[in-house]
Copies of this chain bind each other. A is one copy, B any other.
Amino acid sequence: MKDVAARAGVGLKTVSRVVNGEPGVTPDTVRRVQESIDALGFRRNDSARVLRKGRTASIGLVLEDLADPFYGPMSRAVEEAARAHGALLIHGSSAEEPDREQELVLALCARRVDGLVIVPASDDHRYLEPEIAAGVATVFVDRPAGRIDADVVLSDSFSGARDGVAHLIAHGHRRIGFIGDRPRIHTATERLRGYRTAMAEAGLRVDDSWVALGSTEPERVRATACAMLDGAGQPPVTALFCGNNRVTVTVVRVLNGRVRPVALVGFDDFELADLLSPGVTVIAQDAAQLGRTASERLFRRLDGASDAPSHFLLPTRLIPRGSGELPPPADAL
């Protein structure tokens, strides 16, 4: 910038004015400065700008896994909001590890992002208190914040799961298995609670062997599903409820290799669910809406809103496609 000013024979401030399109510069001066900028290949350094202005016009998005299709529409919604507000998006995965989440979030804070959208892997976010106090707008999405009071946007996991399990019960099932994500994850325990509530409301017993929380790795899900379907020494389950899309996809593969039909309802919709045979009945959540709601909240805070942290609960929707409407086999009743 110094060089540009020297070459154009003007002051630093005038170059700054031209670069930022500020008014109050003679057209002729503008031309001279512009020529000088082009000749020298000048490119404004936003780091220096940030240092003076305070705001970086960037927000951080931390989620579990960039490649999980569930987060695709959510990321896009956050990106669109950022773009609409002239901000850039810094994106990172926690790989579901609390330490990695914290490391990433603090790195983003050191870069002075204006705000954060976090799908938490950790259950203790007290490490964020100084950052929030220092003005970093923070919104948690998909799962709640741990041990701090903050804005949160969730899908209604409990009601969704209860609806899904009630649907299976309405179609005649009495022995229903639940396969979900690790118990540390809030959505996993909420969906399990929905399952238990639906069963209790129907006056049905839940055998311990029908419930499995754990890693969503295909190997583990496959083994779990097979155990429930083969019913070690007792009557097997006639229906399965899956806690998220990763589990559902693996269970669909398992069922595909079996002759006896098993009813299935999965939490989360996924592409092509309608083209499988049977189509997979799901509890759909609106991932894009999750992202939109969170970003809206975030940018409202950046615009100065200082009301108490809010909690949004987005409804889910049951989409019947065939797999959830299969009756139990006649000999299983």
Docked-complex contact B67 and A72, CB < 8 angstroms? yes
A16 at interface (Cβ–Cβ under 8 A)? no
> In the complex where A79-B93, A249-B272, A275-B256 touch, is A45 in contact with B88 (Cβ < 8 A)?
no
A134 at interface (Cβ–Cβ under 8 A)? yes
> In the complex where A88-B108, A90-B89 touch, is A67 in contact with B73 (Cβ < 8 A)?
yes
A48 at interface (Cβ–Cβ under 8 A)? yes
A276 at interface (Cβ–Cβ under 8 A)? yes
- Chain B nearest CB: distance from A163 CB in Å? 24
Query: At the interface with chain B, which of A109-117, A140-148, A305-313?
Result: A109-117
Range for the number of chain A residues in contact with chain B? 35 or more
Chain A positions 7 through 27: 1 when the CB is less than 8 Å from some CB of chain B, otherwise 0: 000000000000000000000
- Chain B nearest CB: distance from A294 CB in Å? 15
- Chain B nearest CB: distance from A74 CB in Å? 9
A28 at interface (Cβ–Cβ under 8 A)? no
- Chain B nearest CB: distance from A101 CB in Å? 13
Chain A positions 255 through 276: 1 when the CB is less than 8 Å from some CB of chain B, otherwise 0: 0100000000000001110011
> In the complex where A67-B76, A76-B67 touch, is A90 in contact with B93 (Cβ < 8 A)?
no
Chain A positions 45 through 78: 1 when the CB is less than 8 Å from some CB of chain B, otherwise 0: 1111011000010100000011111001101100
Docked-complex contact B69 and A69, CB < 8 angstroms? yes
Docked-complex contact B93 and A91, CB < 8 angstroms? no
Chain A positions 234 through 271: 1 when the CB is less than 8 Å from some CB of chain B, otherwise 0: 00000000000000010011001000000000000011
Docked-complex contact B58 and A90, CB < 8 angstroms? yes
A170 at interface (Cβ–Cβ under 8 A)? no
A130 at interface (Cβ–Cβ under 8 A)? yes
Which B residues lie within 8 Å of A68 (CB)?
A: 72
The docked-state distance in angstroms from the alpha carbon of A45 to that of B46 is 14
- Chain B nearest CB: distance from A325 CB in Å? 19
Which B residues lie within 8 Å of A50 (CB)?
A: 47
Instruction: Identify which of A65, A88, A249 gathers the most chain B CB atoms within 10 Å of its CB.
Output: A88
A66 in complex: contacting residue of B43, B75, B131, CB < 8 Å: B75
The docked-state distance in angstroms from the alpha carbon of A57 to that of B225 is 45
The closest CB in chain B to the CB of A103 belongs to B83
A327 at interface (Cβ–Cβ under 8 A)? no
A91 in complex: contacting residue of B91, B131, B270, B271, CB < 8 Å: B91
Chain A positions 125 through 140: 1 when the CB is less than 8 Å from some CB of chain B, otherwise 0: 0000011011000000
A92 at interface (Cβ–Cβ under 8 A)? yes
A107 at interface (Cβ–Cβ under 8 A)? yes
